[in-house]
Amino acid sequence: MGIKKSISTILITLMGVKFMLKLFNILDGKLITNGKTKIGFARTSNITIKKNNLELNKKWNQFDPADSLLVLKNNGRLIVEDNFQIYSGARIYINDNAILSLGSGYINCNLQLSCYESIQIGKNVAIGENVVIRDSDNHKILSDDHKVTEPIKIGDHVWIGMNTIILKGVKIGDGAIIAAGSLVNKDVPPFSLFGGIPAKLLKSPVDWV
């Protein structure tokens, strides 16, 4: 049974790739799952892997017991441009009519991602453990200027440290670094180091490898 009646859920262990291609309308590339990966999907949802692999629930060692969850609701879309790895313990929700776009790189363990409109993550990214990314508050403050949901865009070659929270409406420029434990609620310019609660400029310009 799924999250809603319109969503069915499957438990993947060593399920054949050909079946997955048909089930999710994956036109190119390859979906790889490790261990217990639960995927909830609406029939109107879609996954497109343009090149190489999307690997879910990747594990650092064989003793890691964590599973991962990916949910696509009605008309939810996941677009993967190139090789992308998401490590164990992830919880990814792509809600009605929302689009999650992944470039290339990896996200470490225990990701919490909720996409209600649009989240774009660029190429060659490195995202640490226990990161939260949400493009919606889910509740409205009773004022005229409060927007509940706004898109998030994370640029290319961005490094996000562990235990970071990225909130709605944020744009993180190419080459930026977010220090561990930060709360990002405002835009981050390219090639800058931001950190703190809330995150602020610590150094610019910066580069990393």
Cis peptide before 189 (omega within 30 of 0): no
Characterize the bridge pairing of strands 200-203 and 193-195: antiparallel
Q: Is 139 a catalytic residue?
A: yes
Of 1, 139, 142, 209, catalytic: 139
Name the nearest CA neighbour of 166 among 209, 111, 86, 203: 111
Nearest to 198 by CA among 171, 168, 169, 165: 165
Residue 193, SS3 per DSSP: strand
Active site residues: 139
